[in-house]
Copies of this chain bind each other. A is one copy, B any other.
Amino acid sequence: MKQIISILLAVLLFPTAYAEELSSPNGKMTLQFNVENGIPVYQLNLEGHPIIKPSKLGLELKDAEELMDGFSLETTNFTSFDETWTPVWGESSTIRNHYNELEVTLNQASTQRKMILRFRVFDDGLGFRYEFPEQDNLIYFVVKNEHTQFAMAGDHTAFWIPGDYDTQEYNYTTSKLSEIQGLMESAVTPNASQTPISGTAVQTALMMKTDDGYYINLHEAALQEYSCLHLELDDENMVFESVLTPDAVGNMAYMQAPCITPWRTVIASKNAGEILLSHITLNLNEPCVYETTDWIKPIKYIGVWWEMITGKSSWSYTNLPSVKLGETDYSETTPNGTHAANTQHVKDYIDFASKHGFDAVLVEGWNEGWEDWFDKSKDYVFDFVTPYPDFDVKELHAYAKSKNIKLMMHHETSGSVRNYERHLDTAYQFMVDNGYNSVKSGYVGDIIPRGEYHYGQWMVNHYLYAVKKAAENKIMVNAHEAVRPTGLCRTYPNLIGNESARGTEYEAFGGNNPDHTTILPFTRLLGGPMDYTPGIFEPDVSQYNPDNNSHVNTTIARQLALYVTMYSPLQMAADLPETYGKHLDAFQFIKDVAMDWEETLVLEAEPGDYITFARKEKGSDNWFVGRTNDEEKRTSEISFYFLDSEANYIATIYADAKDAHYKTNPKAYEIRKVVVNSKSKLKQTCAPGGGYAISIIKAKNKEELKGLKKL
């Protein structure tokens, strides 16, 4: 009733007023929807302030009439939802899913086709998607282009990477929207597989800040059976429009009604931390579909990996120019002497992992085929089950088991996806038979079938196929080079990680921007955790490989912070054991830090500048704080208000030394132990490219506090 009166008044008083309006539970986030001249249009305001100006919706179809206009509003349905659910792992032990929903059914008179738009308005944003109900006049259709607009209210500052059908491994550029076009060329740095889209296309999640201090984030949720979203900017009008990823013949998505698209999301707040803490992406995904999840657990691991990334060792066993699986007799070849994945070396890693309480050891380069895996468009590149002669599967399985360590499997597919799928069953069975319960998969290089892209519907389907099949075998998946996540880990929680952005490995390929990790949580991490693989204690890569002059653009203290600021249930201590051996005091933080959280707070946040997270360990009273800092020297000021008011805690603070600098003095850190309580405050200088990490352990008794000063 109230709505009818509103509409009548609106129509009478405000001829351009909208037909439908929906507010968030707290009333501050407001959606307006209308059909204007047959075109569906929406807009979003936060406390009356425009977040999304009037923006059109629609789809263009191949060989069929468009779904762009000629619509009339048929029915509307308003509902509300408020439920709290428990993730298998996450940044908090429970998540509230609270929204108001508007379901709009549109009818296109000329074709008698129906399209539903579903809007969910949360206190911190909006999710909406297209739905196509079962109907006579629309069954099979091919999306030629989606035309979802996000009209910006100004020339915002954006933190962006180039739109690309194949890679996200770019440094972020911070610029005005109007500057994107001029900066695109230099932003497109080389990659093993890349297909940049245009002069003004960027990837999602896209983070922005308006001149008047609003933070806006655009992304998608629940990307399944569809093509990945990018945003193309009309930089005259400041309107973003959806750009999907084509297949080999230029089509975006093949659909069969009844069907839905992924959710398009807008997260907005005057507070940057609220963006980081938003649960919209997860909440828009379906609940977990697995009957049991006790086999899914966080993993803290080390790995035979960084030494190959730096070039100190090789993945391959020989230096043959090419091999043929099943034909090349490795027992007859000359080993190159630099193959890291050999039995003894892996045992050394297992020993180290066991000694320091880690869960697993990743081993890359264990299997036949690494001689010519890269950039050859090789179809039958790996079989995922045949080890090199110096990698004893059975012996290492037994040894790891005896040390209560799991080996983490590695499936580099080389982008040869038909080959991977052909071997997937035997590859997973091999894992089960040999004690592996987690796999890091990779898709380096152009996709085979040739013509497909990493982010097209074809590959989106594959990534999920591999995850579901893994679940049948109680295997956890950490997929690198896959499409960036969109919250599917709620539905399929064995997807415990992706890389799908520029990670620590690039520090050895020339370095990442020192502010990279002050942006990633606002962008890449919106959709799911990232296997960032931090923990580098030796930033001078030439120490490992004299031919590699790359520098890891970080201080050690900031590396520790990343275990808190880069949320992931999968955390690697990426450096070499011998390097950790030189800094066991700092390494202690990595050993102590939790991976699964009761609660998460953002103490300080400014995208591109700094982020400070505080997180409470699930099932304990302990807290961990992490601060990542950009290239400026800054002072962090935080309060420990979140601690139990009645208790004392021992805080171990791992911070940059006074003169630390990511470039010139990265290894200078200081560790101090102090007593803190809920009234404590900290003022901490952070070096350029620095930060700090704090473990905060509740004191059991006064004895423990002896000899420690109060902060």
Contact = CB atoms under 8 A, between A and B. Distances in A.
Contact of A451 (B139, B142, B248, B418): B248
B139 A251 contact: no
A255 to B, nearest CB: 10
A465 B419 CA distance: 11
Taken together, the copies of this chain in the complex come to: 2
A449 interface: yes
Contacts of A506: none
Interface string A416-431: 0010011001000000
Interface string A310-354: 000000000001101000000000000000000000000000000
A372 B418 CA distance: 25
Interface in A426-466: 449-452, 458, 461, 465
A274 interface: no
A140 interface: yes
Interface residues of A, number: 30
Interface stretch (A75-83, A155-163, A374-382, A690-698): A374-382
Nearest to A257: B322
A220 interface: no
Interface string A352-395: 00000000000000000000100011110000000000000000
A289 interface: no
B136 A451 contact: no
B248 A449 contact: yes
A247 interface: yes
B140 A377 contact: yes
B247 A451 contact: yes
A327 to B, nearest CB: 9
Interface string A463-497: 00100000000000000000000000000000000
A256 interface: yes
Contacts of A452: 248, 449
Given A139-B372, A249-B450, A421-B422, 6 more contacts: A140-B322, A248-B248, A248-B451, A249-B451, A254-B377, A256-B322
22 contacts: A139-B321, A139-B372, A140-B372, A247-B450, A247-B451, A248-B248, A248-B249, A248-B449, A248-B450, A248-B452, A254-B377, A254-B378, A254-B379, A256-B322, A257-B322, A379-B461, A418-B418, A418-B421, A449-B451, A449-B452, A449-B458, A451-B451
Interface of A: 136, 139-140, 142, 247-249, 251, 254, 256-257, 321-322, 324, 372, 376-379, 418, 421-422, 425, 449-452, 458, 461, 465
